[in-house]
A and B are shown apart, each in its own frame.
Chain A
Amino acid sequence: MAKNDVTIRTQRLNKSFGTVQAVRNLDLDVMAGSRFGFLGPNGAGKTTTVRILSGLLKQTSGYAEVCGLDVNKDRDAVKAVTGLLPETPGLYSKLSAVEFLEFIGALNGRNGSDLHRRIDSLLGILGLEGRQDDLLESYSSGMKQKVLVSSTLLHEPKLVFLDEPTSRLDPSATAIIKDLILVLAEETDTTFFICTHMTGFAEAVCDVIGLLNEGELVTRGSPQELIESAGARNLEDAYLKIVGGKVDREVLLAWR
């Protein structure tokens, strides 16, 4: 897929769970090789959008296409070209990091020495080489997140969905993930679709930001464009101005 091709396209995408409208008329274009930051408050519909785009959830109405594939009709093909880092870790506590990654590789049809070379390299980059044979039950949440990041990248997907990739990571691990995203996007044309609350991280990594509120895309543009259009100092300030969320000091003490 050449640069400037569209990797993700949605048209009037809707998703309802009973009376709750999780995603509302979402129109989105994400270019190949870009790093798209999907920001929004809790419950805004970010994870639901990711699950629809990765072929795990059926939309209520509208159209969604990933790498030229219809997410409704070509689910297995969509899964083959995408990687998903879920919001919460679903690791096997009684497997080691290497064994878990071998499991993910095998699920994606890979095995043998090539798979093991990749596993060793990824775990080395993420600083887990000394603990790779320890059972995952003894890992801290940050270490588990690193294993999950490795599992997402293992089969070299063209499009990577990262749902809160740095929420459990310390600053140095966050920096490694940031650099890994930047180098993969630049060198291999991998597209990243990143759901996050970390505005600082989004500002540093993403070239395009979409702001979702109550299932609706309220604005999109480069971080700088969003900051300037909101008349804010930085992305966090812009986020608060657009979405709201600032509470007066008096209100903060009113519960007493």
Chain B
Amino acid sequence: MTRKWYHIAKAEFYVLTSGLRRHRKVTVTIMYVLAAVWAAYFAPMIIGGFLGAIMPMEVMRTLLMVMFPGLMRTVILFLWALLLLFPLSHALQEIKIGQWEIFLSNNVKTRDILAGTFVGKIPMYGLIVMVFAPLLISPFMLAFEVSLIGQALVYTVIALMVLSTIWLSNFITAIIQARLGDSSRGNDIAKALSVVVALIVIIPMYGLMLFMPQLSGILGINAFLVMPFTWPADLVSWVTITFNGIGLTGSQILAFGAILQLDMLTSALLMAAFGLAFVPIAITAADRVFTISAGVRTETVTTVGRENVFLRGIRSFAKGPFGALTIVSLKDFGRKAQNLSKIFYGVVLAIILPMLMQQITIVEGEVFEAAEILPMISIMIGVVGVFPFAGTGFLESKDQLWIIRSAPKGASHFMRARVATGFMMAIPLSLAPTIAMTLMFNLALLSAVQIFCAAYVTVCGAVMVSMGITAQNPNYEDTKSSAHQTVLITSMMLVQFTLIGPLFATIFLDIGLGFNLFRFMESIFGLSGFMVVELVLGPTVLLLVGGLMLHLGIRSLGKVEV
């Protein structure tokens, strides 16, 4: 009798570690040994040293104790969100229910599929937790001088939370994949969801980094006692308190108990009940989850309607083939949920920076002028312009490229239309941070216009860089491919360095040749030299680099294969 779940788990593990190929076993073993050494020795040492450098442990202890256990809930929320949503986001990038057909036709029980896919995920995600958890937990272990038994118990609680969360995530992933189905439409929605899901992980991360006191305060309130991440967090808090080595008094422990509300046993029981409850639920529901849909012909058919005013406007403005190509390109881009979710993601990123700056204004009492905000925003906006256009939303397959290439100057015509589409999409991406900043800082209309123009030019430059680089190395919608990662990282780095480059060049000019470009610019324009360099020179260079990348991209896309 073969253990079918085991073979599914093995296949799942092979897929997750496909980058390691033949050296998989050795590499994974080494990674686990290194992670264990990291968790047991290096992470506490580094964190201890780092915290010691910031402030004495007594002060840190007092600070942690004030925010404890809301802070612990924040830390566990981050781990929980990471474990629940990262595998989900990863799985949604590529719907794989075609494999279910193979499983079911080979008489594999649905519970075996569920168990196999779950077990297969544990090694890699377990490793991720082994790296992250000590970083987050060590400050508490050090501050409360938790005994070795206590630390072992804390990590046991975290391990159990990891298992139950991966099980839940695996189950939710299967449900979503089954609902979306293995179709073009389903894949598109799945990819869009994967971006949104990633955003949900990023928010607690930002919260952890920047708004820790506020978030801890919010999560410390009783309403969060019903949230599943609260129970393991409170259990870890109880273990930490119980096995402390700093001699907490009975009244102090009682005070913590009052904040935690539920005692150790109740927290442990709730955590165990939540984890265990989902095992029978998932197994019972497995037969209904792992079903094969009837195929694309039974799906909802979308029929396109009459073109809207905007598209008709473009058609009457640009009457030739370029206008027609731009309209088709806009339709193709705008109808893909994953592109829209990336635009949404970009808008959120673009709004986060002004929010952070407002936070600094509140906390540190600094007041920002538009002139100070603009250079900072331009660098952030560069990232916003890259994300929706680098790698994806370009060509669906190599076969599409053959079709485009088979037309005279097809690649050039195609690229021009795509860039025009990108320039139009740059409007909302530039408008979002402008509106956010204008409202948050009560800026005058002229400042708002300045911000919009600077943001728009930067986004357009980033669009050209992204599309040019993508054209040189198209990854055909495969967001898991190395080509996609290369395109994304190269585009990001190039845009960032191009925007910051003039600043460094100015400094080097001053040091090397004694020529102060800032002062020179100030004498010509009568404005702050720094602002001119960063707002005019950076985006100008970016446009030039973007133009060059586009030129190279068009050449590469239209080249004859050898």
Closest-CB distance, A126 to chain B (whole angstroms): 18
Q: Fill in one digit per residue for B321-346: 1 if any A CB lies within 8 Å of its CB, else 0.
A: 11111001001100110000000000
Selected from A56, A93, A111, the residue in CB contact (under 8 A) with B405 is A56
Selected from B184, B300, B324, the residue in CB contact (under 8 A) with A93 is B184
Q: Is the interface of B mostly helix, strand, loop or mixed?
A: helix
Known contacts A76-B408, A137-B185: A111-B324 contact under CB 8 Å = yes
* Chain B hits for A102, CB < 8 A: 324, 328
Q: Fill in one digit per residue for B393-416: 1 if any A CB lies within 8 Å of its CB, else 0.
A: 000111111111111111001100
Task: State A106–B315 Cα separation when bound (angstroms).
Answer: 13
Known contacts A99-B331, A137-B184: A107-B560 contact under CB 8 Å = no
In contact, B402 and A94 (Cβ under 8 angstroms): no
In contact, B321 and A106 (Cβ under 8 angstroms): yes
> What count of chain B residues pass the 8 Å CB interface test?
44
Selected from B184, B323, B328, the residue in CB contact (under 8 A) with A103 is B328
Task: State A90–B320 Cα separation when bound (angstroms).
Answer: 24
Task: State A56–B398 Cα separation when bound (angstroms).
Answer: 13
* Chain A hits for B403, CB < 8 A: 84, 86, 90, 104, 151
Known contacts A106-B321, A134-B303, A137-B184: A84-B336 contact under CB 8 Å = no
* Chain A hits for B560, CB < 8 A: 55-58, 75
A62 at the interface (CB under 8 A from B): no
Known contacts A55-B560, A138-B296, A138-B302: A90-B408 contact under CB 8 Å = no
Q: Fill in one digit per residue for A104-127: 1 if any B CB lies within 8 Å of its CB, else 0.
A: 111111111000000000000000
Task: State A111–B316 Cα separation when bound (angstroms).
Answer: 13
* Chain B hits for A88, CB < 8 A: 397, 399
B55 at the interface (CB under 8 A from A): no
Closest-CB distance, A11 to chain B (whole angstroms): 19
In contact, A107 and B410 (Cβ under 8 angstroms): yes
Known contacts A57-B561, A99-B331, A103-B325: A80-B402 contact under CB 8 Å = no
Closest-CB distance, B402 to chain A (whole angstroms): 5
Q: Fill in one digit per residue for B81-116: 1 if any A CB lies within 8 Å of its CB, else 0.
A: 000000000000000000000000000000000000
* Chain A hits for B299, CB < 8 A: 138
Known contacts A56-B561, A151-B403: A105-B335 contact under CB 8 Å = no
Selected from A86, A105, A139, the residue in CB contact (under 8 A) with B402 is A86
Known contacts A107-B325, A107-B413, A138-B302: A86-B399 contact under CB 8 Å = yes
* Chain A hits for B332, CB < 8 A: 92, 94-95
B23 at the interface (CB under 8 A from A): no
B183 at the interface (CB under 8 A from A): yes
Known contacts A94-B336, A133-B303, A134-B302: A51-B561 contact under CB 8 Å = yes
B21 at the interface (CB under 8 A from A): no
Selected from B304, B321, B409, the residue in CB contact (under 8 A) with A133 is B304
In contact, B296 and A92 (Cβ under 8 angstroms): no
In contact, B324 and A90 (Cβ under 8 angstroms): no
Task: State A75–B558 Cα separation when bound (angstroms).
Answer: 11
- List, sorted by A's number, 29 A–B pairs whose CB atoms are closer than 8 Å: A54-B406, A56-B405, A56-B406, A56-B560, A56-B561, A57-B562, A58-B560, A58-B561, A80-B408, A83-B406, A84-B402, A86-B403, A86-B406, A87-B399, A90-B402, A91-B400, A92-B400, A94-B335, A94-B336, A95-B331, A105-B324, A107-B410, A107-B414, A108-B407, A112-B319, A134-B303, A135-B302, A135-B303, A138-B302
Residues on A lying within 8 angstroms of B by beta carbon are: 51, 54-58, 75-77, 79-80, 82-84, 86-96, 99-100, 102-112, 133-135, 137-140, 151
A90-B396, A90-B401, A107-B325 known; 8 other A-B pairs, CB under 8 Å?
A56-B402, A84-B403, A90-B400, A93-B396, A105-B324, A107-B407, A133-B303, A135-B304
